[in-house]
Amino acid sequence: MSTLPIITLPAQASSSDGCEGTSTGSLEVATLNSDDLAAAASGDSASDVVKTQAGTALSPDEQGAPGQRDHNGKLYIETVGCQMNMLDSELVVAALRREGYELTSQPDDADTILFNTCSVREHAEHKIYSALGRLKHARKQRPQQVIGVMGCMAQKDQSLIFDRAPHVDIVVGTGQMAEIPGLIKNARKDRERALAVSLDRKAGTRREVSASFQSYDPLREPEMRPSPYQAFVRIMFGCDKFCTYCVVPMTRGPEQSRLPSEILAEVAHLAGQGVKEVTLLGQTVNSYKCVENGKTWRLSDLLAAMHETPGMLRFKFVTSYPRDMTDDLLMALRDLPKCSHYIHVPLQHGCDDVLSRMKRGYTTAHYREMHQRIKEYLPHSAVSSDFIVGFCGETEESHQKSLEAIREYRFKNSFIFKYSERPGTKAQSLFRDDIPDDVKKRRNQELLELQNEISEEDNAAFIGREVEVLVEGPSKNAIKKADSSLKEQLTGRTRCDRIVVFDGNPRLAGSLAQVVVHDVTPTTLVGSILTREVQHGSSSLLPILV
Ligand code: SAM
Ligand code: SF4
């Protein structure tokens, strides 16, 4: 397996003017091209490429007792983007905690600051560069501080991040998360900046590039999860679809499916930690395919095998790709009672011309056929979508077709994005980003309003009905109020992923409860608990105290 190049660069001199966005003057910032990276990956490193001993774990002893350390052990981490990023942050925090770090919610308190970044839209990157800008002066007062940028923006912008924010110490791509503890330690000790990224997609053979996006999923950190009862499990890395607007195939590398044995072991481990619901992650999660010990595993096989895990109550998966919605998967969802009947399968646009320019690989007719099959196998399932408005060449007429699609499919919800041109994508080289921002905003608003109307109408059909809810814990409102009363507002989700709020005992978190719905909003069902449990030796259903 090819090893990854870790490039160390001289740290920013504290006397530097540190001008944002300008070059670092006398500093030798290595410009990494594909040849450097390929050479380093094949072990034939160029002379200006320094490979470090990154990734060697520090024991708490090496890390030093709090009084002996050269830093305060406090870690601040900010995560932008999707569930993949949330999971990556969880894994990085787990690794750092093992080395004695503790989390803080205040960047001012922390001697170690990490940004886990997203490159899908330009706006997400601006937010990170602004946050980095705000740290520039504080960093000068804190010589022991280490600032790191990790994730998609790190893989995409690489040493440009040092140019734009010279006070950043480490830049770590999506495939090098396991190196972070060692890189932080070295950066603090040697005051050398380090860049650890994977190969560009064209910088080696598929095998070399894939190997440079290392798997990093064994560690888990319950505190970083949305709730102690829910966890993400990555079953695939990367993407090979190359939709023309999207940077993900570049920032997350080639599509790779993880071994089923590893995934099942991780699910069992999570069940042992008390997790009740697992969400399987992949950019095109239903394209999962892996051969192990001569057997070919697809997503349906994985679901059937993990369904046997004692203690687990529910399984979901995101994000699905329309062309890979096979019958075996829909049958598995129909036949396995722990599987959520919720499918996030983005249409992206309602017009065939736009879908073709997006190179999505399907037409609206394909999507319709897939949607019909979902409803045949799972009549009560909920389907949700993503849409992009204002993609290159989108006419008023084609925009109307996205509105019609929302009416036709009555999605449970849709995530709607204004097109953001991304460097390095096919759309950037082939098409002009020709839709003015005010038009994008209006079209975004139109889709959103229609989707909200439909969501509220469809939610209203639940009024008076009893739904089974996997209770997640106190609702956001209850957390804000920090009310210590026994009964508080709880939140959970139905089997088709509708959010439900109701008053109840927080002890119900992590269990299934029956709730009767009496009011709705576009996003939420509001109900009262009817939880009953079966008394052993009797068929009667008893109410439990709530
Ligand atoms: N793999 C998933 C799929 O194909 O549906 C989506 C992953 S992407 C991180 C999440 C969503 O961001 C996409 O579904 C798309 O709607 C949106 N997106 C991606 N690139 C975008 C861009 N350049 N501008 C605006 N939205 C974008
Ligand atoms: Fe991006 Fe398309 Fe891959 Fe989704 S399927 S991650 S939108 S390239």
Q: What is the 3-state secondary structure (H, E, C) of 257-293?
A: ECCHHHHHHHHHHHHHCCCCEEEEECCCHHHCEEEEC
The residue nearest atom 2 of ligand 2, judged by CA position, is: 243
Checking if the pLDDT of 403 tops 90, the result is: yes
Mean pLDDT in residue range 352-367: 98
Alpha-carbon distance 490 to 473, whole Å? 5
Ligand 1 atom with the smallest distance to the CA of 81 is: 9
Q: Which atom number of ligand 1 is nearest to the Cα of residue 360?
A: 4
Residue 210 has a pLDDT of 87
- Which amino acids bring their CB within 6 angstroms of ligand 1? 82, 120-121, 245-246, 248, 283-284, 319, 346, 348, 386, 388, 417, 419-420, 422
Asked whether the beta carbons of 174 and 151 are under 8 A apart, the reply is yes
pLDDT-derived band at 487, boundaries 50, 70, 90 = low
Q: Using one digit for the tens of pLDDT, what is the confidence trace for 248-298?
A: 999 999 999 999 999 999 999 999 989 999 999 999 999 999 999 999 999
Predicted confidence band of residue 72 (pLDDT cuts 50, 70, 90): confident
Among protein residues, the one with the nearest Cα to ligand 2's atom 5 is 241
Q: 512 CA distance to ligand 2 centroid (A)?
A: 34
Q: What is the pLDDT of residue 360?
A: 98
From 239, 323, 348, 386, the mutation candidate for ligand 2 (largest count of ligand atoms within 8 A of CB) is 239
Q: What average pLDDT does the chain have?
A: 84
Which span out of 22-36, 399-413, 485-499 was modeled with the highest average pLDDT? 399-413
Q: Report which of residues 15 and 329 the model is more confident about.
A: 329
Which pLDDT value is given to residue 68? 65
Which residue is listed with tokens 């895990």?
309
Residue 203: pLDDT band (50, 70, 90) is: confident
DSSP assignment, residue 523? S
Amino acid 43: pLDDT: 30
CA distance 442 to 437: 9
Q: Which of 119, 241, 256, 420 to mutate to test the pocket of ligand 2 (most atoms within 8 A of CB)?
A: 241
Considering only CA atoms, which residue is closest to atom 25 of ligand 1?
A: 419
Using 50, 70 and 90 to split pLDDT, how confident is the model at 8?
A: very low
Helix (H, G, I), strand (E, B) or coil at 343: strand
Q: How far is CA 47 from CA 30, 50, 199, 372, in A?
A: 11, 8, 18, 59
Of 253, 336, 251, 250, the residue nearest 299 (C-alpha): 336
CA of 120 to the centre of ligand 1 (A): 7
- pTM here is 0.85
pLDDT of residue 38: 32
Least confident of 13-17, 435-439, 541-545: 13-17
- How far, in Å, is the centroid of ligand 2 from the Cα of 303? 23
The pLDDT of residue 218 is above 70 = no
Q: How confident is the model at residue 485 (pLDDT cuts 50, 70, 90)?
A: low
Who has greater pLDDT, 201 or 448? 448
User: Taking a C-beta distance cutoff of 8 angstroms, is the pair 235, 257 a contact?
Assistant: yes
Residues in contact with ligand 2 by the CB-under-6-Å rule are 239, 241-243, 246, 248-249, 283-284
Is 496 buried (19+), middle (13-18) or exposed (0-12) by CB count in 10 A? middle
Atom of ligand 1 nearest to the CA of 348: 16
Ligand 1, atom 1, lies closest to the CA of 283
Ligand 2 pocket, mutate which of 237, 252, 284 (most atoms under 8 A from CB): 284
* Alpha-carbon torsion, ordered 216, 217, 220, 225, to 10 deg: 100
- Three-state DSSP state, 489: strand
Say yes or no to pLDDT of 39 above 80.
Answer: no
> To which H or E segment does residue 316 belong?
strand 314-318
Amino acid identity, position 444: N
For residue 246, which atom of ligand 1 is closest to its CA?
20
For a mutational test of ligand 1's pocket, the pick from 246, 389, 444, i.e. the residue with the most ligand atoms closer than 8 A to its C-beta, is: 246
For the cut 60, the answer to whether the pLDDT of residue 415 exceeds it is: yes
Phi, psi of 414 (to 5 degrees): -135, 140
Give 49's pLDDT tier (boundaries 50, 70, 90). Answer: very low
Question: Which residues make Cβ contacts (< 8 Å) with residue 375, sequence separation at least 6?
Answer: 381
Q: Does pLDDT of 437 surpass 90? A: yes
- Mean pLDDT of the 161-176 span: 95
Does residue 327 have a pLDDT over 50?
Answer: yes
Q: What tokens appear for 224 in the block?
A: 């970083």
Following DSSP, what letter does each residue of 220-242 receive, concatenated? --GGGSSSTTEEEEE-EE-----
How far away, in angstroms, is 284 Cα from ligand 2 center?
Answer: 7
Taking residues 8-18, what's their average pLDDT? 33
Contact partners, residue 305, CB within 8 Å, separation at least 6: 260, 264
Quick one: pLDDT at residue 32?
Answer: 27
Residue 387 has pLDDT above 60, yes or no: yes
> Tokens standing for 397?
């007429």
- Given this model, what pLDDT does residue 211 score? 86
Mean pLDDT check: name the lowest of 87-96, 144-153, 385-394, 451-460.
Answer: 87-96
121 vs 123: CA distance, rounded Å = 5
Please give the Cα distance from 244 to 429 (Å, whole number): 9
